[in-house]
Amino acid sequence: MLKGSVGLIALSSLLLSGAAFAQEKIKVGVTATLEGTYTVLGEDGIRGFQTALNVLGKKIGDKELEFVIASTDATPDSAVRAVRKLIEQDKVQILLSPLSGDEGIAVKNFAKTHPELAFVNAASGAQETTYVDPAPNFFRYNMDGAQWQVGLGKYAYETKGYRKIATVGEDYSFIYTQVFGLVLEFCGAGGQVTNRQWVPLGTKDFASVIAALPDDVDAIYLGLGGADAVNFLNQYQQAGGKAHLMGGSIMIDQTILSSKGSAKNALVGTLAASGQADTWDDPNWQKFVKAYQDSFPEAKRFPSPSLLATNYYDSTMALILALRQVNGDLSNNQAKLKDALAKIEIDAPNGKIKLDANRQAIGTNFVTEVVDDGKGALFSKVVKVIPNVNQTLGYDPAVFAKIGLPSRTVPECKKY
């Protein structure tokens, strides 16, 4: 169904571009994971994007925005293929891409081969994308995986009294970055991370992974997303698992909390951290939730926007506002637009966002706990809000550089 509609959008935009329109268009290419393990995440990302268009409109002065959507499957090569197709075939002038961590690193590197175009990251959250050798034309308005874990380690150690935890995560850059943020803070507070298990993205049978979970720990941290997370929970329930759980930013998210079946109930009470909290009472957030709910019929959306919807919303918002600042001027290799993108501060639904020297977001983070609303729907309830989280997580940049880049074994569990 989605592929069909994506095809239709692509087709209609092609037809439109061929038609004799007097009005000048600005063509923007969008990618989302509309295939594979992260399909549900991609679909909600696109919903966030459409919500932004509904709220802000498509007019830039006397020009109008036009979009071409391409599908990826969370692998870096699929993202580069999609972006290349958008640039070479559809002749887009601006990119809003990509969704997933490994895709982000690949698209950032690809962006260097097209220095004249502006790339606005849609939702990807690997640290490396903007931290190592950033591309001058790549802008990221969402925080990275490590920033999204700020507050979690300390809260788990101090408030919950967890001392020893183990982690299970998908084996790729975004989850490395999430575990990086968690381990750094939890071990810094004095906790121990005894075991880190990595499973390939798209794992279906978790039974042996579940059996190998240690039982002498206070909690188990899950860094999974999409179909993987649902499969894990389903099999965890079948195996009768009862440990305390902690969750990453795409694990404790509406994409999982609204999944069908009863397996998700294992998550009630789970501690997590993310760039948003479903039940935050900030008026700006509430307004966004309302706009999201009003944009789609109830059966075609989640009860509340997922992190991906929020990220796509924020990125689209930043792009539209920056384009309006320069009145749609894309001359001189988009120099004015790039300048505006780098300087813009947006009043996003999930807190104020501005960019650092690497064009990486500094924003607000939320520690949350999963609650049942009494009618069987699960939401993340905010327990702590941490403003102004930067990419070095408050560490001195020199100290931060010594920790190393997120990987299966980095960082070590110690105080830096």
Partner 1 sequence: MTKFIERHPAWALIGIIAIAVLLWLVFAIWPPGLEAAIGRKRVFLNAVFNGITLGGLYFLVASGFTLIFGLMRNVNLAHGSLYLFGGYIGYAVSTWTGSWILSFIAAFIGVALLGVVLQLAVFRRMEGQDLRQTMVTIGLSIVFADLMLWVFGGDFYQVQTPAWLIGPIQLPLLTAVKSSGEPVYLQYPLVRLVIFVASVVIGIAMWLALNRTRIGMIVRAGVDDRDILAATGVRIQLVFVLVFALGAGLAGIAGVVGGTFQSLSPGEDTRFLLASLVVVIVGGMGSIPGAALGAVIIGLAEQLGSVYIPTYAIVVTFLIMVLVLAVRPQGLLARR
Binding site for partner 1 (CB under 8 A): 1-4, 34-37, 39-40, 42-43, 171, 197-200, 203-205, 207-212, 226-227, 230-231, 234-235, 237-240, 259-263
Say whether 370 sits in a helix, a strand or coil.
Answer: strand
Where is 264: in which H helix or E strand? none
Q: How far is the CB of 75 from partner 1 (least distance, A)?
A: 12
Round to whole Å and give the CA distance between 157 and 167: 15
Considering the complex, state which of residue 229 and residue 382 has its C-beta at the smaller distance from partner 1. 229
Considering the complex, state which of residue 115 and residue 261 has its C-beta at the smaller distance from partner 1. 261
Q: How far is CA 295 from CA 94, 286, 306, in A?
A: 25, 14, 14
Based on DSSP, count helices (H) and strands (E) in the chain, helices before strands: 14, 15
Considering the complex, state which of residue 5 and residue 286 has its C-beta at the smaller distance from partner 1. 5
Q: How far is the CB of 222 from partner 1 (least distance, A)?
A: 16
Considering the complex, state which of residue 237 and residue 279 has its C-beta at the smaller distance from partner 1. 237
Q: How far is the CB of 172 from partner 1 (least distance, A)?
A: 12
Considering the complex, state which of residue 18 and residue 240 has its C-beta at the smaller distance from partner 1. 240
Q: How far is the CB of 209 from partner 1 (least distance, A)?
A: 6
Task: Decide: 362 and 390 in contact? Cβ < 8 Å.
Answer: yes
Where is 312: in which H helix or E strand? helix 307-325
Strands 164-170 and 219-223: what pairing?
parallel
Q: Which residue pairs, CB below 8 angstroms and at least 24 apart, start in 325-331?
A: 327/60, 327/61, 328/24, 328/26, 328/60, 328/61, 328/62, 328/63, 330/26, 330/93
Round to whole Å and give the CA distance between 247 and 267: 9
Considering the complex, state which of residue 33 and residue 334 has its C-beta at the smaller distance from partner 1. 33
Q: How far is the CB of 254 from partner 1 (least distance, A)?
A: 13
Say whether 255 sits in a helix, a strand or coil.
Answer: helix
- Record the tokens describing residue 154, joined without a space: 């300390």
Q: How far is the CB of 109 from partner 1 (least distance, A)?
A: 24
Considering the complex, state which of residue 35 and residue 282 has its C-beta at the smaller distance from partner 1. 35
Packing angle of the helix pair 307-325, 39-56 (nearest 10 deg): 40
Considering the complex, state which of residue 1 and residue 19 has its C-beta at the smaller distance from partner 1. 1
Considering the complex, state which of residue 34 and residue 337 has its C-beta at the smaller distance from partner 1. 34
Round to whole Å and give the CA distance between 291 and 154: 34
Q: How far is the CB of 391 from partner 1 (least distance, A)?
A: 28
Q: How far is the CB of 208 from partner 1 (least distance, A)?
A: 4
Packing angle of the helix pair 307-325, 283-295 (nearest 10 deg): 100
Round to whole Å and give the CA distance between 198 and 20: 54
Q: How far is the CB of 40 from partner 1 (least distance, A)?
A: 6
